[in-house]
Amino acid sequence: MNIEQSKQKSAAIAMACGVVVEPGVFRIESRDLPEAAPEGWVLVDIAAVGICGTDYHVLEGKHPFLNYPRVIGHELSGRIVNDSGDWVAGDLVVINPYLSCGECRACGKGKPNCCSRIEVLGVHRDGGLCSRVAVPSSNLYAASDLTEIQAAMVEFLAIGAHAVRRAGLTCNDRVLVTGAGPIGIGTALFARLEGAEVHLLDLNEARLAQARDQFGFANTHLVGSDILTGSLADGFDVVFDATGSSRAIEAGFPLLAHGSKYVLVSVVKETISFDDPEFHKRESQIIGSRNATRQDFECVMQAIRNRQIDTGALCSVKIPFEKFAGCFAELAKDRGTLIKAIVTL
């Protein structure tokens, strides 16, 4: 082998990555393709990536837990690169993007989703809008009976499934989901699967029409309308906030019934305030809901297998990776009725 051949062999293979360099600036950059994984980790070739509110917030500079530059993408499906443990090359998998330490108090209590040292792909560390990633084997879930597109939608649906599980819903509960975007729709779908009476509230009539026409939610309310009338005068047993708006969160407190729960699914940078005497009078609970666990991922996957979730209705648009840079900013600006954009690799 001559010197030039040796150089070529040692040179890393490049892959394209979708990077938010700074707020408002997205571009495709070249990074080294991972060719080896640490012990207990597995290489996965990315098949599809769901683009969600987190990615838009990263682009807009609104995410509270992030440093730039960052490869985005945490709603991921992919295929195993090499035989590894129980995994066979080519297996389709859902990737759980929440990398937990396994040692903190939260992890010790079986809550890795809120690990004190959590690293979320696409947020705390580079994500999966690229050709290949390395992830812990325990963060992979077999998805051979799903499509690559369906598998890429499991994570965002798991957010709603986790919130519903946190609320401990029953079929006797009257539920309000504020924010009829992707996370709100996902939350509403799983609340309905629990048998609850589900209402949706949004400031966008087009989103509410979509909730009615595509997903069958008859009880929709426009922000500014008088909700607490007639049979709803007593308020809602459970309110889920999926707006990402501090003003909307604060506006949700008066909608709580006595003995109710307020589940905060969205994350905002601002401080939230509320009327304490009214809150105590209702003996309400505020519940934070962060990320999701294996149980929630498996719940979503089973619901898709059982055709209880219409993934076709959830997938608004499929975009080849090579065309994504040209439309990311436009998608971020026009999210009125966009449920899920999927980037295919």
Residue 48 near residue 77 (C-beta atoms within 8 A): yes
- Report pLDDT for 169: 96
Q: What is the mean pLDDT of residues 288-308?
A: 97
Please tell me whether residue 315 adopts helix, strand or coil conformation: strand
The listed CATH number (3.30.1130.10, 3.40.50.720, 3.40.30.10, 1.10.1040.10) that belongs to domain 158-288:
3.40.50.720
Q: What is the mean pLDDT of residues 242-256?
A: 96
Is it the case that residue 9 has pLDDT exceeding 60?
no
Mean model confidence pLDDT for the chain: 94
- Report pLDDT for 11: 60
Q: Is the dihedral of CA 291, 292, 293, 294 positive or negative?
A: negative
pLDDT digits (tens, 9 = 90+) for 107-149: 999 999 999 999 999 999 999 999 999 999 999 999 999 999 9
- Edge-to-edge strand ranges of the sheet holding 25-32: 25-32, 14-22, 70-71
Q: What is the mean pLDDT of residues 224-239?
A: 97
- Report pLDDT for 4: 47
Is it the case that residue 10 has pLDDT exceeding 70?
no
Provide the token pair at 23. Answer: 């707020």
- Report pLDDT for 5: 44
pLDDT digits (tens, 9 = 90+) for 314-324: 999 999 999 99
What is the domain class of 13-152+310-344 according to CATH? Answer: alpha beta
Give the domain ranges of the chain. Answer: 13-152+310-344, 158-288
Is it the case that residue 168 has pLDDT exceeding 50?
yes
Which has the closest alpha carbon to 138: 294, 291, 34?
A: 294
What is the C-alpha separation between 32 and 23, in angstroms, rounded? Answer: 24
Which has the closest alpha carbon to 145: 8, 298, 313, 332?
A: 298
- Report pLDDT for 267: 86
**Residue 2's pLDDT band (boundaries 50, 70, 90)?**
very low
Q: What is the mean pLDDT of residues 68-86?
A: 96
Is it the case that residue 12 has pLDDT exceeding 80?
no
What is the C-alpha separation between 42 and 176, in angstroms, rounded? Answer: 40
Cis bond upstream, residue 97 (ω within 30): no
Please give the model's pTM, rounded to 2 decimal places.
0.93
Q: What is the mean pLDDT of residues 234-261?
A: 97
